[in-house]
Chain A
């Protein structure tokens, strides 16, 4: 009897699995539409619940994914396999790669009207400078300087406003507490380095007619790399990668007393160094030219619709709602702790992040800093440049800290890959 029951159960299970398999590919004409959404923003399912409550006919199902590069890899693979999700959270720098691989749909018809809700510099990143619209901007990541206010006071340090002052502060700190660092140069975070380069006015890709121009080792990038080579060689900043157990510990126990990061840092600090709540403060980035303050972007993401989706219209509607509807954006801020890309939503932020109760004007300052963001054009093989960064910078640091050869390697790797794929590369 038991065996019979088990057999039936297995048969039923298989049957259901087959039915489910069919349901995924065919859309019932009048039943509710179901959209799959790959995202990593914390608690984004709670924001999506608000949509599902108001839209019984279009149900969005969130599937939690790993952040950044891993998701790009997964999207490329699933698209090649012919089974991508309907919607995905995509970082700005991954858009050209995904568009070039035909993973994302042009949603200008449904999302084009949303353009005036965003700053022009941000909107340009989702159009790739053309007439198509490949995603709706979700959040941006203007870079800022975070520091332990309590320890700065204890060691009598002043918040650096220029890069020269940053270097001097790093030295002063080492002189006063030889086991502490003002920051680290991370070979693991190309996005961080790209943000620093944007601030210095660098631009790694540009479009020249029908050809790409690649300048990963341009003067601005060389300036940034030279500056950090000096600090690393002098030993006044740490050279271990970020986002390791070691780094988390250093943030927690005050070994790292500063972090050049982005507007989303409070969320990371809360997760990695909860015990330091209320001890951090935020300031604008140190500047190359104090009279013309600028910043770069580290991260920032969008909601994109895939070209493999059979429900692009409904998916586009959701993507626009998620990033422009006032209740949705407010939920994104409170639930997922992102810094919204929509201009009106930035202005509506009044309460500081819970981790920064000591800085009530956090978002007022952040908005001012965000307004100084430099533009940047991303190329179609950012992943190649980023991998080259990780390999070459790691090697340069272990070999003795001159980072300039790493830039040459990044440039060569990027250009070689584009040429090998048949892109026209000029310059």
Chain B
């Protein structure tokens, strides 16, 4: 008690308080973020070495290999192919998802819209469903024999579609992500739209703007920061796609167990039991992710945040 009162008057002690307030965050950051990353980097520099047949106690030892795991990860053809597949998937997913989110947000922002609350919830709800469960549900809908869509097409004597074919699978996966992600992005964009001063619209209307012109010339430009944010998050989420292809893989011949880079990491760590090369690949993916995020922010900063500076 005394010390606290003293510190109020004294000069040196108040400096403790800020640190005390920051401490919980720093401790959690170190324990749950910095430490695991450090351990991953440490692991990525080793590998196991087996003696003889590798059976029996003590036949495996950990040896330091420097950057070997990184060299192998960079030159791994399957990892590169996986990255390309994810790019293709992202090229379908990100524009579709953000486009739909933007359209829904603009529609909900219109004054004439009815059942706004219900529509908002209905569009947002799929976001609350975990990716694995969503993939299981969609898997049933995709499998030609159990798909109600194909039954419907057969009723109309039209040929069935197989969304689980090698090309169809890109759309099948993107569709699951769009279904789950549109709502979240819509809410972000909608919230940003709501914070735009209403008098801007009134001024525009007096100047003779149609609702379409208000949307294109006023709302979308003012939404730019929110659009940058949502694209950044979407791109990061895309590069980390894992649960959906992992869940669909057993249902089809079109998805390998190393279809995306993260699936490769999982397969390396837990399928092959090689946590060392999995660690190296993870670090590599993280670095690429940082690079993409920062360059994207840099490119768009002048446009998006120009007004804030």
Contacts and interface: CB of A to CB of B under 8 A. Distances in A.
Do A and B share a complex? yes
B285 to A, nearest CB: 20
B52 A244 contact: no
A237 to B, nearest CB: 14
Measured as residues with beta carbon below 8 angstroms from the partner, the interface class of chain B is 35 or more
Interface in B231-288: 249-258, 267, 270-275
Contacts of A80: 275
Interface in A373-427: 380-381, 383-384, 387, 390-391, 393-395, 397-398, 417, 420-424
A246 interface: yes
B140 interface: yes
A358 to B, nearest CB: 27
Contacts of B274: 421
Contacts of A207: 53
A241 B253 contact: yes
A102 B48 contact: no
B126 interface: no
A100 B49 CA distance: 11
Interface in B15-67: 47-60
A303 to B, nearest CB: 19
Scoring B48, B57, B272, B274 by chain A CB atoms within 10 A of each residue's CB, the highest score goes to B272
Contacts of B49: 421-422
B68 to A, nearest CB: 10
Interface string A72-106: 01001100100000000000000011011110001
Contacts of B55: 96, 99-100, 128, 130, 380
A34 to B, nearest CB: 26
Contact of A250 (B56, B139, B145, B249): B145
B256 A245 contact: no
Nearest to A105: B57
A1 to B, nearest CB: 28
Given A246-B143, A246-B144, A422-B51, A387 B271 contact: yes
A387 B255 CA distance: 12
B166 interface: yes
B302 interface: no
B258 A421 contact: no
A282 B287 CA distance: 56
A378 to B, nearest CB: 11
B253 A101 contact: no
B251 A423 contact: no
Contacts of A187: 253
A395 B250 contact: no
Interface string B128-154: 000000000001100111100000000
A249 interface: yes
User: At the interface, is chain B mostly helix, strand, loop or mixed?
Assistant: loop
Contact of A244 (B58, B251, B275): B251
A227 interface: no
A361 to B, nearest CB: 34
A398 B165 contact: yes
A188 interface: yes
B40 to A, nearest CB: 14
Contacts of B57: 102, 106, 307
The CB with the most chain B CB atoms within 10 A, among A187, A188, A244, is that of A244
Contact of B145 (A73, A239, A249, A381): A249
A381 to B, nearest CB: 7
A334 interface: no
A394 B52 contact: no
B272 A383 contact: yes
A132 B54 CA distance: 14
B118 to A, nearest CB: 32
16 contacts: A77-B270, A96-B55, A100-B55, A128-B55, A187-B253, A243-B250, A381-B272, A383-B273, A391-B256, A391-B257, A393-B253, A421-B47, A421-B274, A422-B50, A422-B51, A423-B53
Given A76-B273, A422-B49, 13 more contacts: A77-B270, A102-B57, A102-B60, A210-B53, A246-B251, A250-B145, A255-B145, A381-B272, A384-B271, A387-B257, A387-B272, A394-B254, A395-B253
